[in-house]
């Protein structure tokens, strides 16, 4: 993937200002069959070469415009890959900052090939960059647990996040990830999750501006919540229509492994609104959807679609909170939950959606009739 400045050197025009990022792909087809490259797997909303040319032409004469058309068409990555040949070119993707996952899928000869890799992209100050993961724990502090031992260990962990001095309880720690860290991050970024920007003057201004005008801010910072005696190691979010609405999650690297793989504790909720507050450095805070289980299970669906998730199960983390007796997070928002913590196991190679296995540990209650009864009871009381 090339930078904005490199794109100007190569193409003679700016791509970044148009939200376009050029990714260079080089494929050596050593099979005996022609292959077909699927650019939609690299970016579901990629730009065609002539579309890019149209966006950047500016004030060219007719001859100059034709030259721009030819340039982008000639340099674009072909979709047909002849056998025994090396083929390369640019795919014009949507511009990402922080981290970009490049996914490549090839079809041909009755087979398919898939690979992906992550690229660091400059342009924002990521919150995760302040964490030195090699120094979180000493090697001797990690316990390598079996799955049964992991279930027992998770049952001993606190149910919820806290404030810095651990005097107040916050949002539930409602999921756990097990697998290679790069594989986990790749799956999330591919599904549209963005790493969050560090809280600083620029990000505070962008957050406030987005709040005032109702625009989207993909990398908006998140406030610190605490688990394992520290703030989150990294946070990700999936922006929706505007800054008022997003799914966001926090992750903490745990001092355990499961069958040799890293383990992460996580907290996820769905933001449904924004309000001003003096309790946050950004002067704003999000109101969460009270149904935190819905956000938890949304993540499960999303990871199934990533085709990196192999197995999942649920373990008991806390007593249920109902509509009649909700829990509350640190900003006072109520939440309801069945009290289960989702545990997801990621493996290579890719796992088709129909082969993702439910381990059958605990079963979440998805019957909403209980909710209706509680809502009717609350209405009668009022």
Residue ranges, comma separated, of all CATH 2.60.40 domains in the chain are: 4-121
Output 260 or 124, whichever has higher pLDDT. Answer: 260
Lowest average pLDDT, out of 28-32, 124-128, 322-326, 335-339, goes to: 124-128
- What is the helix (H) or strand (E) element at residue 187, kind and residue range? helix 181-190
Q: Which phi and psi (to 5°) does residue 374 adopt?
A: -65, -40
Confidence grade of residue 192 (pLDDT, cut at 50, 70, 90): confident
Q: What local confidence, expressed as pLDDT, does residue 89 receive?
A: 96
Q: Match 């193409």 to its residue by tokens.
A: 11
Lowest average pLDDT, out of 64-68, 190-194, 283-287, 368-372, goes to: 283-287
Confidence grade of residue 156 (pLDDT, cut at 50, 70, 90): very high
Rounded Cα gap, residues 334 and 290, in angstroms? 6
Architecture of domain 4-121: Sandwich (2.60)
Confidence grade of residue 122 (pLDDT, cut at 50, 70, 90): confident
Nearest Cα to Cα of residue 56 among 100, 17, 102: 17
Nearest Cα to Cα of residue 214 among 274, 271, 124: 274
Lowest average pLDDT, out of 34-48, 83-97, 280-294, 309-323, goes to: 280-294
Instruction: Tell me the residue ranges of DSSP E strands in 136-283.
Output: 143-145, 160-162, 169-172, 175-178, 194-195, 226-227, 230-231, 234-239, 246-258, 261-276
Three-state DSSP at 4 gives: helix
Q: What local confidence, expressed as pLDDT, does residue 52 receive?
A: 95
Confidence grade of residue 116 (pLDDT, cut at 50, 70, 90): confident
Q: What is the residue-wise DSSP string for 5-31?
A: HHHHHHHSS-SGGGTEEEEEEEEE--S
Mean pLDDT of the chain: 86
Indicate the burial class of 102 (C-beta count within 10 angstroms; 0-12, 13-18, 19 or more): buried
- For the segment 78-85, the average pLDDT, to the nearest whole number, is 96
Rounded Cα gap, residues 170 and 162, in angstroms? 5
Distances (CA, A) of 338 to 172, 316, 319, 324: 11, 9, 7, 13
Output 314 or 204, whichever has higher pLDDT. Answer: 314
- For the segment 216-245, the average pLDDT, to the nearest whole number, is 80
Indicate the burial class of 234 (C-beta count within 10 angstroms; 0-12, 13-18, 19 or more): buried
Residue 181 clears pLDDT 60, i.e. is over it = yes
Q: What is the pLDDT of residues 297-344, one digit of tens each?
A: 999 999 999 999 999 999 999 999 988 899 999 888 899 999 999 999
Rounded Cα gap, residues 235 and 105, in angstroms? 28
Confidence grade of residue 13 (pLDDT, cut at 50, 70, 90): confident
Retrieve residue 152's tokens: 């027992």
User: Residues 269, 236: contact at Cβ < 8 Å?
Assistant: no
Output 303 or 211, whichever has higher pLDDT. Answer: 303
Residue 30 clears pLDDT 50, i.e. is over it = yes
Q: What is the pLDDT of residues 254-308, one digit of tens each?
A: 999 999 999 999 999 988 776 666 655 555 666 788 899 999 999 999 999 999 9
Q: What local confidence, expressed as pLDDT, does residue 203 receive?
A: 47
Q: What local confidence, expressed as pLDDT, does residue 212 receive?
A: 46
Q: What local confidence, expressed as pLDDT, does residue 256 receive?
A: 96
User: Residues 80, 101: contact at Cβ < 8 Å?
Assistant: no
């Amino acid at each position: 993937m090339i930078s904005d400045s490199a794109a100007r050197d190569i193409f003679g025009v700016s791509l970044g200002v148009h939200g376009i990022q050029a990714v260079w792909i080089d494929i050596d087809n050593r099979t005996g069959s022609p292959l077909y490259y699927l650019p939609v797997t690299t970016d579901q909303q990629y730009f065609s070469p002539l579309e890019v040319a149209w966006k950047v032409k500016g004030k060219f004469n007719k001859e100059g415009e034709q030259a721009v058309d030819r340039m982008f068409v000639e340099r674009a990555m072909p979709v047909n890959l002849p056998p025994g040949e090396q083929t390369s070119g640019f795919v014009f993707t949507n511009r990402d900052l922080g981290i970009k996952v490049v996914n490549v899928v090839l079809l041909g000869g009755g087979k398919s090939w898939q690979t992906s890799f992550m690229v660091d992209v400059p342009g924002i100050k990521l919150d995760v960059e302040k964490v030195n993961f090699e120094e979180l724990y000493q090697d001797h502090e990690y316990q390598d647990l079996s799955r049964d031992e992991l279930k027992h260990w998770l049952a001993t962990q606190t149910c919820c996040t806290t404030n810095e001095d651990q005097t107040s309880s916050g949002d539930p720690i409602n999921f756990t990830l097990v697998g290679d860290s790069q594989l986990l991050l790749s799956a999330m970024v591919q599904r549209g999750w963005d790493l969050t920007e560090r809280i600083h003057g620029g990000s505070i201004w962008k957050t406030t501006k987005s709040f005032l005008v109702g625009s989207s801010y993909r990398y908006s910072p998140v406030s610190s919540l605490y688990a394992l005696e520290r703030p989150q190691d990294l946070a990700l979010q999936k922006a929706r229509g505007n800054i008022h609405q997003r799914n966001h999650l926090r992750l903490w690297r745990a001092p355990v492994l499961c069958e040799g793989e890293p383990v992460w504790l996580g907290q996820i909720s769905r933001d449904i609104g924004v309000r001003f507050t003096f309790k946050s450095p950004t002067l704003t805070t999000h109101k969460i959807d009270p149904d935190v289980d819905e956000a938890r299970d949304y993540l499960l669906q999303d990871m199934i679609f990533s085709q990196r998730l192999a197995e999942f199960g649920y373990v008991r983390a806390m007593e249920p909170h109902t509509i009649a007796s909700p829990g509350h997070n640190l900003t006072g928002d109520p939440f309801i939950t069945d009290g289960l913590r989702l545990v997801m196991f990621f493996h290579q190679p890719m796992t088709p959606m129909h082969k993702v296995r439910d381990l059958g540990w605990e079963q979440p209650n998805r019957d909403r009739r209980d909710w209706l009864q509680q809502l009717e009871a609350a209405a009668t009381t009022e």
